[in-house]
Each structure stands twice: as structure tokens, then as C-alpha cells.
Amino acid sequence: MAPVRALLLESLHPKATEILTAAGISVENHAGALDEDELIDALDGVQLLGIRSKTQLTERVIQARPELIAVGAFSIGTNQIDLAAAARHGIAAFNAPFSNTRSVVEMAVSEMISLTRRLPDHNSKLHAGVWSKSATGAHEIRGRTLGIVGYGNIGSQLSVIAEALGMNVIFYDNAEKLALGNATRMPTLESLLAEADIVTLHVDGRAGNSGFFGRPQFETMKPGALFLNLSRGFIVDIQALKEQLESGHIGGAAVDVFPDEPKKTGDLFVSPLQNMPNVILTPHIGGSTEEAQRDIGIFVATRLRDYVFHGSTSLSVNLPNLSLDQVQGSHRIAHLHENIPGVLAAVNQVFAEHNVNIDAQLLGTRGELGYVVTDVASGMDEDAVSALAQMPGTVRLRVLS
């Protein structure tokens, strides 16, 4: 197997580098994100890419670098990757759907308490030398109603913790979700907004969610209600939020994600929400704890390593999910192909014609793609490999051992 190179961007946790280098993979690290042209140049001769949320893996980049075999999103979201284009070109994509959920949940809880107790206002006044001790407008979160929009890994975990703190929890999700504890599913977003004292968004980054929370939704919220967004910046109309805060209809807000974010630490940040006393602004750090980043680094790097050396697509977000224990002493062939009838028979016909005995084999399909991993008793000669690679419907063929 030829030497493998990896490019890791956006200051990933050192554990990712440690895992990949221990497997014999050459790793190059960059602190910041790269734009399309920079990324195309940097990926010359690179098989693995690791990114967070700022770098965009577009179809143009994918087409320019056919040697790329896998990409790891060291984050929950994968909207920064053109997953369909990656799949069409045989590039496996992995993410970390669970590793930083606790960090986001704890931050949401801390911001709810801070806003409910008016801590941002008290903090700014005291820094300015103004002693303003007062209980006016300060409340406990116990007994208040939390409305969670998006009841996935983060929203559901927040639901459990909020209930343990004595809050009443309601949620809305456009998919069927099991309510945890005493949480109540609301039939519509509008019904949730009209009842919640605090509204927190935890929706995914699909394109259809762009701009889904704007002036009509803010106007439906209870007067004085609090608003949190720790999910995606492009789902909220920031100008509408500012207007509702200035009018007093929204009592306070905490925002961690923005429609336009700087690419790297130290770049200028500008937002209409700056310098508002009842607003907490944070630089997209909901999942940025040392514990979460370490866990993400381990999780995604391990997925990349196992795909390179074993062909495992377990938890891939765009390819059929397969994980086959390798037969000791065997050779592994990974064949990604179009999901059309007869491919498996054609693959096995090639093995038969070249006197290759199969030790183990596993096939999986996902949408328009099929993936078959085969362990064979003896090595594959060049003619057999060529026959598989040239077989109609082949997307990518890899001889792993």
C-alpha cells in the first residue's frame, strides 16, 4: 500500500495527529481554514483531509483532487462538505455526532441561567464602576418553560438536564422523536414559541433550514422571552433579532453562531448584536472544550485510520456502512460501485476467472452506491485488479493488503 498523507486544518486536537502518525500516516497541520484555491493547492498528493466548520470541501475541490479518499469533519455538522459529490467520487466522509454534545448542552444551561439572572448587565455595570444591586428582572430558571427547537442529540440531552433543574420542557422537531422524561412534544413551532419562556435552537445545517427563524417567529414568542442559538448561524435573521431586543419584546439572547464568521482567530468580527447589554456573544465555542475537542480528535481520526487500512465505513455519513473483521493472513479488496443489479456477481466472476478464493465478503448499499469488502486467500495479480477497476459501475477500487 502506497504511503498515505493527511492534511489537518483549523487547529485540530493533537490526538488526531497522534493517532494518524502512529498508524504510519504522514500528517501536515495548518492552524486556519483555507479557501477553494488554497485547498486545491494544499491537497496535492494528499489522501486524507481533516477540517472543522470553516473550510468548505466543494465539488470543485473534489474534482480537482481525485487522489483524496476520505474527509473527516471534526464537528457535529457536515454542511461544509458536498456529501453527494464526495460520494460520487468515492470519498468517504465522517463526522463526530456525539463527542461534543455535552459541551454544547452545558453552555446552553449556563447561558440560560446568566440571562435569567441578568448577569451580563450586572457584569458590564460593575466593570464600569457602577454598583447596582437589585433583584428586579432576575429570576430562577426553576419552574420556567424551556422550548427546544430540534430534539436531536443535543436537544434531547439538554431536555433531560433542564428537567433535572426543575424546568418544564417542551420541544418541537419536524421528525418523530421520543420525548424523554416529562418533556412534551408540541404540534407546531408556533405553539412552542407562544408558550416558552426560553427558546433554544438546536437544528441541523441542511440548506432548507436557512433563514427559517426570523421576524414572524420572534413576534410569536412570549413578551420578555429569552432566545438562544447554538446551532447554525444562517438559520436566524440577526437584524430581526436586534429589532426585537431593542423593542423589549425579546428579553435577552445568547448567540454562538453567525451568518458570517471570521476564518481564523484574531480576524475582525462585526455583528449588529454587539454592545447590547442583554446579549451574550461567543465565537462559535459551543463544542470547544478541551474534553470535547480531544474526544472529537480521537473519534474522527480513528474513523479515518480504519477506513484507510481496513475499508471500514462504519458511521460514514455518505457511503454504505460496513465493518468486516479481517481474516488473518488474507488480502482485502474494497470495491465502491454504482448500486445496479449484478455488480456482486460480476465482482465474484472476476475472482473466479483469476483463481482467487474468497475467505469472507460483505456487501452494503446506500442510495445510488454499493460497497463490497472482500477478503481473499491469496494476493491479487495486476490483471485481476485491472479487471475490477474497469468493470462497469466501479466508482473506486482499493487494494488494502
> What CA–CA distance (Å, rounded) separates 383 from 378?
14
Grid cell 498508524 in the structure block, residue: 23
Point out which residues pair with 145 in neighbouring strands.
168
Q: Which amino acid is residue 54, in one-letter code?
A: K
Give me 328's grid cell: 488473518
Q: Does the annotation count 284 as an active-site position?
A: yes
Which one of 5, 117, 284, 396 is the catalytic residue? 284
Closest CA to 107 of 257, 222, 225, 213: 257
Which one of 65, 232, 310, 332 is the catalytic residue? 232
Which one of 36, 38, 190, 261 is the catalytic residue? 261
> What CA–CA distance (Å, rounded) separates 342 from 336?
14
Strand ranges, E, within 243-338: 250-255, 279-281, 331-338
Q: Does the annotation count 127 as an active-site position?
A: no
Q: Give the strand order in the sheet containing 394-399.
A: 358-366, 369-376, 331-338, 394-399
Point out which residues pair with 72 in neighbouring strands.
50, 94
Sign of CA dihedral 387, 44, 296, 90: negative
Q: Does the annotation count 243 as an active-site position?
A: no
> What CA–CA distance (Å, rounded) separates 248 from 226?
11
Which are the catalytic amino acids? 232, 261, 284
